Structure 1
């Protein structure tokens, strides 16, 4: 609140009247009268300007560091007007939101040197009534005349204080004190304080806004650049800087300068950036950036920024690295681990030994091999290892090498070159940052074995039909039903590929050597079925457990699962008994469904119309079932 000039003699009378009689004259400003009363009640001394609460040097230094943007800005303002302060005997204090003095400018403040004042607290409870306390309490600028000050030492000068408010909160307080009031009009002092207040609020609001925008830009999974004519990068967000750090020419990293893209991009004149300076925008365009160090691929948008004259002054480029897009797509497509190592069931020594080794192996980042008979759970184990590894946040992609002919499998693994319409990445690229599980790796052709070994050795590949080298960062978990070492000895499997993937080998035991785990596995399968289909849980009777423990299970866990699934859906009660179990080789649905439509329909109903479940029950592939669905004229939906 900016007030008109007051008669100081009368102000002295009002102050003395309150001190002597405790009466506040009606002519006293109500905020000042209230402050006088609080100062009296607090027992604040009236004679001397005391500074009892003060920060240590270390504490003051920390506060100054925290508020450095504000202090630096005020330093700049003061440098422009300091001659004015000297000429008119002005002093200025800058305080934080706790009213600790961060800095003292110009002349001594009420006979206090900068060393005495800086770090001191000057709340109302410390120095009594002052323009500082009133401006702070009421959040408005306030001009106070000397006789209204609580402390006698301060009554020979007038003071104007103003809160610096950002986001509706008092962040700082600034106060200017004038000793020679006759030479400096009050209006000039007030105008100076209000100008400083406005300038600082605008600056700090802009800083806060920029900080928020930088935080947002650093958080988005996009590289953002502001580029000046000629290719100089004026701004880059966090991801953009990380990309730029990889393309700066060797030897220039220590210069502390941003790169000039026209110098480091070999194909600069053929990029959307160059066209952007010609006024041509581009949106979501797939772009290849060729640098001396590496080739990058991005989905890029370039927007020209024009000045008042209509010419392009600069451009904004926003790009999404294709490897990041692939990871995002991989997660969206469900390429994540569904099982953990702890979800695998078993307590036998041979199983727990295998589980412990898998857990240790997961912590390393090298490729490795799972060896075991079909149906032993190698794929579930691969999921668990991926989830326990440092790559758990990345995708887990599985490829069954025996399901596709070599020419199609090559494209599946390495991708296909070509333009935007024809080209596509392979699973090795999509698995970047994560894990690629290659099941039945022994079924890779000799050509693909050598090509895969070369790609893993160099950590880069070329898509089928092109010569561009693309970086890859995928961990391989290979699985084989046969002894790969013997295949290498017989020269039917690549020795170089075997050396790469067999740095650690985990052997998955068959079910016949861990019979004691069979009842627990069966119970786990029953629990999963009940949860998956939202059905009441069922128990495996002791007699049924004896039956399944007495079998060798040549098809291992997969075969056990098919038998248990069939029993689960056949059982009408709460317990699965031996009568509900059709063991492999016994007369049942599986003997007739290939020729008898009614038998197939019965199995189809027992599986609830679920292709995967029926495939497990009948121990056949999904492709085979689709063929029989077509043969019998049944709708797979």
Structure 2
């Protein structure tokens, strides 16, 4: 609150009247009268300006670090007007929201030097009535005359304080004290304080807004640049800076100025950036950036920014690295780990030893070889290893090498070259930054074995039909049902590829070697089925557990899974009895389904409408099932 000039002799009389008689004269400003009463009730001394509560050097240093933005701004502002402070014997104080003094500028503040004052608390209970306390309490600027101060030491000067409000909260208080009131008009001092308040609030709000925008820009998976004419980078977000680190000229990495793209991009004049300065925007274009160190491929948007004269003054470029786009596509396509190592159930020594080794080795970045009989859970183990590795945030892509002819598998792994319509990345590129699981790796052709070994060794690949070298960063987890080393000794498998993938080898034990784990595995399968299909939980009866314990399970976990699935969907209640268990080789379902549509529909319902599950139950191939589905006209229902 900005007040008119007051007669100081009268103000002194009002002060003495309150001190001696505890009477607040009607001419005393209400806020001051209320503060006098609180100061008296708190027992604040009236004679000497004491600094009773003060932060340590370490504490004030931490507070200054927290409020660097405000202090730096006021430092700069003071340096521009400090001659004015010196000429009129002004002093200035900056306090934080707890009213601790952060900094003292210019002249001593009520005979206290900066060293004495900084870190001291200036609340009403410490120094009584002051412009600082009233401005803070009422959230408005306030001019206070000397005789209105509670402490007599402070009554030889007038003070004007202004709260610095950000987001509707008082963050700081700025106070200017004038000793030579005759030489400096009150209006000048007040104008100075109000100008500082306005400028500081605007600056802090702008910085807060910029910080929020920078946080948003750093969080998006895009490289964002603000580029000046000639190619100088004025701003880059976090991802943009990381990309720039790879292209700045050698020896200039430690310099503060941004790189000039016209110097580091060999093809600068052929990029959308150069065209952007000619006023030509580009949207979502695939762009190749050629530097002396590396070649990058991005999806890039460039927007020219025009000034008042409609001339292009700068441009904004937003790009998505194609390798990052592939990772996003991989995640969208579901190329993520579905299982963790903790989802692998078993307490037998041979199993826990294997699991511990897999967990330890997962932390390395070596290629990995899993060896074990078919159905032992190698794919689930690969998922768990990926999730336990440093590549867990990247994609996990699986390829079964025995499922397709060599020429198709080559394109599947390495991709196809050509124009935008024809070309596409292979699984090796899509898995970059993550893991590629190659199941049945022993079924790779010798040509593909050699090509894969060379690609993994060099960290670069060429798509089928092109000679462009593309960098990849992929970890291979290979799986084999047989002893791969023996295949190398027989000359059937390429030794170079074996050396690359066998630095870490985990042998997955067959189920017959961990028979005690069978009941736990069965219970876990039942639990997963119930959760997957949203059905009530079921349990194996003791006699059912005894039945499955008495079998060798040559098909391992996969075979056990099929038997438990049949029993789960066949059981109406919550307890799976021994009668519901159809062991391999037993025939429970009538062959009538081959001739009777109603029998087939009943089997279909028992399998929950799942083709793979029904194929297991009827012991036929999926192809055969589709033939009968068509025969009975079920594909039209």
State the TM-score, normalized to the length of structure 1. 0.95
2:342 matched to which residue of 1?
Answer: 342
Offset from partner CA, 1:70-117 (integer Å, 9 cap, x none)? 222222222222222222222222222222222222222222222222
1:376-525 equivalent positions in 2, closer than 5 A: 376-525=376-525
Q: Aligned in 2, Cα 1:622/1:379: closer, same or farther, shift over 3 Å?
A: farther
Q: Give the distance between the partners of 1:127 and 1:348, measured in 2 at CA.
A: 74
Which residue of the partner structure matches residue 373 of structure 2? 373
Cα distance between partner residues in 2 of 1:595 and 1:512: 38
Which 10-residue stretch deviates more, 356-365 or 300-309?
Answer: 356-365
**Residue pair 1:544, 1:578 contacting (<8 A) in 2 also:** yes
Cα deviation for residue 355 of structure 1 reads 2.1
Match of 2:189 in 1: 189
Q: Residue 174 of structure 1: CA displacement?
A: 1.3
* Inter-partner Cα distance in structure 2 for 1:4 and 1:539: 87
Shift of 1:123: 1.6
Q: 1:595 to 1:511 in 2, by over 3 A?
A: farther
Equivalence for 2:90: 90
Q: Show the counterpart of 1:359.
A: 359
Cα drift, residue 407 of structure 1: 1.9
Shift in Å, 1:621: 5.5
Structure 1, 438-447 or 293-302: larger mean CA deviation: 293-302
Q: What are the Cα deviations for residues 352-388 of structure 1, in whole angstroms up to 9, with x where unaligned?
A: 2322222222222211111112112111111122222
Which is further off, 121-130 or 26-35?
A: 121-130
* Structure 2 CA distance for partners of 1:300 and 1:595, relative to 1, 3 Å: farther
Residue deviations 1:439-463 (CA, integer Å, cap 9, x gap) = 1111111121111111111122122
* 1:79-228 superposed matches below 5 A: 79-228=79-228
Q: Residue 230 of structure 1: SS of its match in structure 2?
A: coil
* 1:165-198 deviations in Å (ceiling 9; x for gaps): 1111111111112222222211111111111111
After TM superposition, give the deviation of residue 544 of structure 1 in Å. 3.4
Deviations 1:403-457 (A, max 9, x none): 1122221221112222332222221122222211111111111121111111111
Deviation at 1:497, TM superposition (A): 0.8
Larger deviation: 202-211 or 385-394? 385-394
Change beyond 3 A, Cα 1:540–1:155: closer
Task: Give, in whole Å, the separation in 1 of the partners of 2:370 and 2:545.
Answer: 29
- Checking the alignment, whether the CA contact within 8 Å between 1:562 and 1:619 is kept in structure 2 is no
Decide whether aligned partners of structure 1 residues 2 and 425 sit closer, same or farther in structure 2, where only a CA change above 3 A counts: same
Shifted more, 272-281 versus 539-548: the winner is 539-548
Which deviates the most, 272-281 or 343-352? 343-352
- Once the two structures are superposed, what CA deviation does each residue of 1:255-295 show, in whole Å capped at 9, x if it has no partner? 33321111222222222111111111112222222222222
- How many angstroms apart in 1 are the aligned matches of 2:268 and 2:591? 68
User: Aligned equivalents of 1:93 and 1:192: distance in 2?
Assistant: 13
Deviates more, 1:327-336 or 1:469-478: 327-336
Query: Any residues of structure 2 matched to 1:254-269 within 5 Å, and which?
Result: 254-269=254-269
| SS at structure 1 position matched to 2:162 | strand
Report what 1:235 is aligned to: 235
Greater CA drift, 449-458 or 518-527:
518-527
Native 8 Å contact 1:589 1:599 kept in 2: no
Whole-angstrom CA distance in 2 between matches of 1:19 and 1:636:
99
Aligned CA-pair RMSD? 2.2
Once the 2 structures are TM-superposed, how far is the Cα of residue 156 of structure 1 from its aligned partner? 1.8
Cα 1:374–1:633, aligned 2, differ >3 Å: closer, same or farther? farther
* Cα deviations by residue, 1:464-510 (Å, 9 ceiling, x for unpaired): 22222222222111111122112111222111111111112212222
Q: Are 1:417 and 1:463, in contact at CA under 8 Å, matched by a contact in 2?
A: yes
Q: For the residues of structure 1 that align with 2:537 and 2:359, how far apart are their CA atoms?
A: 31
Residue 599 of structure 1 deviates from its aligned partner by 6.0
Q: CA deviation at 1:619?
A: 5.4
In 1, the alpha carbon distance for the partners of 2:574 and 2:60 equals 73
Question: CA 1:343–1:590 in 2, change beyond 3 Å: closer, same or farther?
Answer: farther
Give the distance between the partners of 1:248 and 1:131, measured in 2 at CA. 54
TM-score scaled to structure 2, two decimals?
A: 0.95
Q: CA deviation at 1:597?
A: 6.4
Q: Which moved more, 1:616-625 or 1:502-511?
A: 616-625
Q: Distance in 2 between matches of 1:105 and 1:341?
A: 62
Structure 2, unpaired ranges of 5+: none
Q: Supply the distance in 1 between the matched residues of 2:591 and 2:501 (Cα, whole angstroms).
A: 41
- Alignment partner, residue 564 of structure 1: 564
Deviations 1:6-65 (A, max 9, x none): 111211111111111110010110011111111111111111111122222222222223
Structure 1 CA distance for aligned equivalents of residues 356 and 113 of structure 2: 70
* Pair 1:19 & 2:19 matched: yes
* CA distance 1:62–1:510, change in 2 (3 Å): closer
Distance 1:38 1:371, change over 3 A: same
Matched, 1:34 2:40: no
Separation of aligned partners in 1, 2:399 and 2:67: 56
Post-superposition offset of 1:312: 0.8
SS state of the match for residue 266, structure 2?
coil
Corresponding position of 1:5: 5
> Which residue pairs with 1:58 in the alignment?
58
Q: How far apart are the structure 2 equivalents of 1:145 and 1:254?
A: 54
Distance 1:23 1:542, change over 3 A: closer
